[in-house]
């Protein structure tokens, strides 16, 4: 793999996402400045996207000019956003805050920004704890959510009715940190602090596969080209400076999706990986981390734990030809 190191943030990275064409990579961080890069070479551009923030707002941006089109306001921090197929709707999760429960909100996205409304077409409340991620199910008919209470849920996107939820016997045992869909939306992958990732059927919520590792999982991604999944995470950030970097287990680990066996990894990072994303063409992936200015290894990674200046980075990997011929 040929990594490209991209510096564009001053705080820890939190999320990565490619556009559908795969030519742009969007990154979000705790520095309040969402950034977009050309996916081939890591160059920056002025376009933006829909963003959720702890300032209790979600902002809609023009991806060509960078102009802010609209601000959705909430009563608690917004954590995640996801456009529906067709981009006519957006699902937004908000955190519990000052007596306000966590919620899933659906907003209609107007074709004409001047006609945009802040009203929710659907609001779902009730899941305990923080909802870390919510995405659209097949044909936009359902919403899939997961979070701190360790439960995966499927909701009716029109009525808000709870349709299915994961059983404790097969579900995660600790908070679910990440959730990503397959390219065709037929299945999805969850990662958890219980040191596992699980593959689920998007319609039935049947557990398909289970991937176990020796470190908490913060981020997951699935290749759209091969039957591969990648897991990232590592030792908790608060312990990063007290242990050897090899003990933290901060590698991005690749697994065969069908056989559930580890097939490789990318080593050398000093702190937890927070986000992973495959390009839609399947030939490159990204993960994000940050560098601690006072650590003796300035090329390694860490999460939000610092005694000095923090520089946010995105690393872009182009796969070598051998990657496409991996056999177990």
Greatest mean pLDDT among 9-13, 83-87, 136-140? 136-140
**Domain range list for the chain:** 47-166
Q: Comparing 149 with 243, which gets the higher pLDDT? A: 149
pLDDT 10s digits, 236-266 = 655 555 554 454 467 789 999 999 999 988 7
From residue 131, how far is each of 95, 113, 175, 268 by CA, in Å? Answer: 7, 28, 10, 31
Mean predicted lDDT score pLDDT of the chain: 80
Predicted confidence at residue 186, as pLDDT, reads 96
pLDDT 10s digits, 87-140 = 899 999 999 998 899 999 999 999 888 999 999 999 999 788 999 999 999 999
Domain 47-166 homologous superfamily, CATH: YVTN repeat-like/Quinoprotein amine dehydrogenase (2.130.10.10)
Predicted confidence at residue 78, as pLDDT, reads 93
For residue 212, the cross-strand partners are 196
Contact 100, 123 (CB under 8 A): no
Residue 237, classed as helix, strand or coil, is: helix
Predicted confidence at residue 15, as pLDDT, reads 76
Closest CA to 219 of 173, 187, 180, 260: 180
Global pTM reads 0.81
Burial class (CB in 10 A: 0-12, 13-18, 19+), 124: buried
Residue 19, classed as helix, strand or coil, is: coil
Predicted confidence at residue 31, as pLDDT, reads 74
């Amino acid at each position: 793999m040929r990594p490209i190191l991209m510096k564009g943030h001053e705080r820890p990275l939190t999320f990565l996402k490619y556009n559908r064409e795969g030519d742009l990579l969007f990154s979000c961080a705790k520095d309040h400045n969402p950034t977009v890069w050309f996916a081939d070479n890591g160059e920056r551009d002025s376009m933006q996207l829909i963003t959720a923030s702890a300032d209790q707002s979600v902002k809609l941006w023009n991806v060509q000019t960078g102009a802010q089109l609209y601000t959705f306001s909430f009563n608690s921090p917004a954590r995640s956003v996801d456009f529906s197929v067709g981009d006519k709707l957006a699902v937004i999760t908000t955190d519990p805050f000052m007596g306000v429960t966590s919620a899933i909100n659906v907003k209609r996205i107007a074709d004409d920004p001047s006609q945009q409304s802040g009203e929710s077409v659907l609001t779902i409340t009730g899941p305990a704890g923080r909802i870390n991620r919510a995405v659209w199910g097949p044909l936009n008919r359902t919403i899939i959510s997961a979070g701190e209470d360790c439960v995966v849920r499927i909701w009716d996107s029109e009525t808000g009715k709870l349709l299915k939820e994961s059983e404790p016997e097969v579900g995660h045992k600790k908070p679910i940190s990440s959730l990503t869909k397959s390219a065709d939306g037929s299945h999805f992958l969850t990662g958890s602090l219980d040191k596992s990732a699980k593959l689920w059927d998007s319609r039935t919520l049947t557990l398909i596969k289970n991937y176990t590792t020796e470190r908490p999982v913060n981020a997951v991604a699935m290749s759209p080209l091969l039957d591969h999944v990648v897991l990232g995470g590592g030792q908790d950030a608060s312990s990063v400076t007290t242990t050897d970097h090899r003990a933290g287990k901060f590698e991005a680990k690749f697994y065969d999706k069908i056989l559930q066996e580890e097939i490789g990894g990318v080593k050398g990072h000093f702190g937890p990986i927070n986000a992973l994303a495959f390009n839609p063409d399947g030939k490159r992936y990204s993960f994000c981390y940050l560098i601690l200015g006072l650590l003796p290894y300035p090329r390694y990674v860490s999460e939000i734990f610092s005694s000095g200046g923090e520089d946010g980075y995105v690393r872009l990997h182009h796969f070598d030809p051998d990657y496409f011929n991996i056999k177990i």
